[in-house]
Amino acid sequence: MLSTKRFKILVIFYFTLILLAAGCATIPVVEREKISMPPEVPKKFLRTLNNAEEAFNAGRLDEAVNLYGGILQQSPPEDLTAWSHFRMGEIYTIKGEPEEAAKNFTTIVRNFPGNSLYDEARYQLALCYSRLGRCDLSQEIAESLLQEKITPYRRSLILALVGDNFMEQENPYDAFVYYMKVLKKRPGAKLSDDIKEKVAEIVTAKLSLDQLEEIYQTYWYGYPSGYIIYALAEAYYRNNDIENAKKYTSKFLLFHGDHPYFEKAKIFRQRLKEMKLVGRYAIGCILPLTGRYARYGNKALEAIILATGIFDPEKKSPIKLVIEDSKSDPEAAREAVVKLVNRDKVIGILGPLGSTTALEAAREAQKLSVPILTLTQKEGITILGDYVFRDFLTSLMQIRTLVKYSVQNLGMTRFAILYPTNKYGTEMMNLFWDEVLRWGGEIKGVKSYDTKQTDFGKEIKLLAGLPSRKNNGKSKDEPKPTVNFDALFIPGSHSRVRMIAPQLAFYDVTGIQLLGTNSWNSPQLLKGESKYLEGAIFVDGFFLDSFYPAVRDFIDNFYVAYGREPDDLEALSYDAASIMVNIINENRVEVRDDLRDSLFELKDYPGITGNTSFSETGDAKKSLFVLMVKGNKIVQIN
């Protein structure tokens, strides 16, 4: 059995090892000043105490608690009682049970005021109360300790604790005051680093403008003046005081070249400069208002004006719409971009419509770093750069929606294609074929027809495995068709589809699903005998008879404003303008890069032409309407 003297030496040795290995020890070390073992330990307790200390230092905390508890049950002398309660308080602190820890430290404070552990127990009790959210009690003990003669390091710890209590009570200003008192004591690297981290958070995120100005009067030089000056710059910026924001940013960059925020401040200064060069509510609009496409340009403009609300007295829109005529001329469109950027300081541009004018305008917009939201079917326009976007109904959008619905909702896997031999038909055929294969489906047959054709017997027979004859009639002994596909995709005009559908029935090619594109979406589709089109499905980006409330409201508002119902172009133009206006009004969009970034971040904007997002290339992604012919009507099914 160890003697008392040897045991004390061993305890000090163990404690030193733990301090040295705190980074990888099995238990965290409770931060405290050096404490002393009881000077005399009766022999009857020495073995148990030896085992308890060994268990404690080895991290076997439950075993240690039981051993110390066993000592307390045997009515030990005062010093050993205090020591056992203190150790149990430390163990419960390490285990994250501050309430149990507080009970043990309270016992020492109440019953052993003359003990050498008394002041340490008071400090540990104050810590426990702080962790329990009982900051008033923690503060009372801490203030009492600060009035006494204590070591500089202990004073630093208590000042830090007072600061923590003020933070818990949501009083960051007083917390800052106490944390700065800690740093003034030069408490050592670890505590200094911890306190500096808290000070930086308070200064940059917790103080009001007035409080920042107040502490700047004291800390205008040295630490933490860099954080204070930068925080003042941002605070004035949030208050829309750009001049003061610029003043403090310049001061920061002049005197704090080695500060962690230096690069951040340079970017912030550039932002402040750009804000002077941009009208945050100014939107440019480039459309063909004269020339051969003037009819389309003026229709799009009316929809854009309605979306911006600039003439609606109830909306009180801050938006300024600056309109330029592209004249359907690429060079005029390019010059319009230059004017809108340099003269009118617009934050973004809507349009143009046509392929060549949109391409030229997009090139110039990318060059001048201004976001442009084009309204064109021109494929590949967004590859010009990250300031070029497109919000339009594309062929690929339609095909992806159509194939996805056919496979997922209708369970179809086998398809045939009957397409017109023009650019549109060929493009749609290729896109449909690729998309079907991407979904794991099969293309069972592909036939083309001339755009002027009215008799489709030959093509239908070939798709249905019927013998092809020169005469266009149906012979009595002709074999039955072999239809090995579930659906027939016809990317033709509504007038041709009206002719094809009854001819399919004539050759007994029935029981298949007819699929089409937005070229079908016309009241003319159902003129004549529409029974052959019953159940046919096609897609579009806009549907006048939609059951969506937002679409109904748009149609009503458009009719009130212009005395007519809107078409696809007007709906798309309205959506594009609404997206840009909504981003400018709802987000803190102050420079052109803000608008660009917000467009990329847009997710499922509830537009009239479907929920809209933008891909990483700047192309719109939309959830299109799925439409069906039902009972001599076109209805929305998805």
The DSSP bridge partners found for residue 64 are none
Tokens of 95: 């285990």
User: By C-alpha distance, which of 104, 616, 624, 45 is closest to 383?
Assistant: 616
219 contacts 235 by C-beta, under 8 angstroms: no
- For 414-442, what is the mean pLDDT? 97
**With 50 as the cut, is the pLDDT of residue 584 above it?**
yes
What kind and span of H or E run contains 364?
Answer: helix 355-368
Fill in the DSSP letter of residue 480. Answer: P
**With 90 as the cut, is the pLDDT of residue 553 above it?**
yes
- For 463-484, what is the mean pLDDT? 74
**With 50 as the cut, is the pLDDT of residue 288 above it?**
yes
455 contacts 498 by C-beta, under 8 angstroms: no
**Where do we find the tokens 């579009």?**
540
Say if residue 15 is exposed, middle or buried (CB neighbours under 10 Å; 0-12, 13-18, 19+). middle
User: By C-alpha distance, which of 222, 174, 168, 175 is closest to 197?
Assistant: 175
**Chain mean pLDDT for the chain:** 91
**With 70 as the cut, is the pLDDT of residue 131 above it?**
yes
% of the chain exceeding 90 in pLDDT: 85
Domains and CATH numbers, the chain: 1-132 (1.25.40.10), 282-390+565-612 (3.40.50.2300), 395-540 (3.40.50.2300)
pLDDT at 223 (0 to 100): 95
Using DSSP, state whether 416 is helix, strand or coil.
strand
Tokens of 282: 């100014």
Tokens of 567: 């078409």
Q: β-strands 537-540, 625-629: how paired?
A: antiparallel
341 contacts 351 by C-beta, under 8 angstroms: no
What is the Cα Rg of the chain in Å? 39
| Amino acid identity for residue 38 in this structure | P
**With 80 as the cut, is the pLDDT of residue 33 above it?**
no
| Amino acid identity for residue 121 in this structure | A
Provide CB contacts within 8 A for 598, sequence distance 6+.
583, 587, 589
C-alpha distance across the termini of the chain, in Å: 85
C-alpha pair distances (Å), 291 with each of 305, 326, 356, 362: 21, 9, 15, 21
Confidence (pTM): 0.73
Provide CB contacts within 8 A for 410, sequence distance 6+.
486, 487, 513
Q: Rounded distance, CA 182 to CA 185, Å? A: 5
**With 60 as the cut, is the pLDDT of residue 32 above it?**
no
360 contacts 374 by C-beta, under 8 angstroms: no
pLDDT at 605 (0 to 100): 95
Which carries the bigger pLDDT value, residue 362 or residue 315? 362
Give the pLDDT confidence of 589-605 residue by residue, as tens digits: 999 999 999 999 999 99
242 contacts 272 by C-beta, under 8 angstroms: yes
pLDDT at 313 (0 to 100): 78
C-alpha pair distances (Å), 532 with each of 178, 497, 520: 84, 10, 14
Each as own residue / partner, the long-range contacts of residues 121-127 (CB below 8 Å, 24 or more positions apart, any chain) are 121/82, 121/85, 121/86, 121/89, 123/32, 123/154, 123/157, 123/158, 123/161, 124/30, 124/32, 124/86, 124/89, 124/90, 124/93, 126/158, 126/161, 127/93, 127/98, 127/161
Q: Rounded distance, CA 550 to CA 554, Å? A: 6
**Where do we find the tokens 């680093």?**
193
Q: β-strands 414-420, 634-636: how paired?
A: unpaired
User: By C-alpha distance, which of 348, 401, 234, 273 is closest to 602?
Assistant: 348
Q: Is the dihedral of CA 381, 386, 387, 391 positive or negative?
A: positive
pLDDT at 279 (0 to 100): 95
pLDDT band at 86 (very low <50, low <70, confident <90, very high): very high
Tokens of 470: 């020169």
pLDDT at 265 (0 to 100): 97
Cβ count within 10 A of residue 416 = 23
Provide CB contacts within 8 A for 474, sequence distance 6+.
457, 506, 507
- For 576-595, what is the mean pLDDT? 94
Using DSSP, state whether 127 is helix, strand or coil.
helix
Give the pLDDT confidence of 226-283 residue by residue, as tens digits: 999 999 999 999 999 999 999 999 999 999 999 999 999 999 999 999 998 999 999 9
Tokens of 484: 């090995």
User: By C-alpha distance, which of 405, 402, 349, 398 is closest to 377?
Assistant: 398
Could you write out the three-class secondary structure of 243-300? Answer: HHHHHHHHHHHHHCCCCCCHHHHHHHHHHHHHHHHCCCCEEEEEECCCCCCHHHHHHH
Give the pLDDT confidence of 480-520 residue by residue, as tens digits: 888 999 999 999 999 999 999 999 999 999 999 999 999 99
User: By C-alpha distance, which of 398, 423, 392 is closest to 568?
Assistant: 392
**With 60 as the cut, is the pLDDT of residue 18 above it?**
no
User: By C-alpha distance, which of 387, 366, 392 is closest to 377?
Assistant: 392
pLDDT band at 475 (very low <50, low <70, confident <90, very high): low
- For 557-582, what is the mean pLDDT? 96
pLDDT band at 315 (very low <50, low <70, confident <90, very high): confident
pLDDT at 62 (0 to 100): 96
When mean pLDDT is compared across 126-140, 182-196, 305-319, 331-345, the lowest value belongs to 305-319
**With 70 as the cut, is the pLDDT of residue 332 above it?**
yes
C-alpha pair distances (Å), 230 with each of 194, 245, 273, 346: 21, 9, 16, 29
308 contacts 321 by C-beta, under 8 angstroms: yes
Q: Rounded distance, CA 367 to CA 615, Å? A: 21
**With 60 as the cut, is the pLDDT of residue 117 above it?**
yes
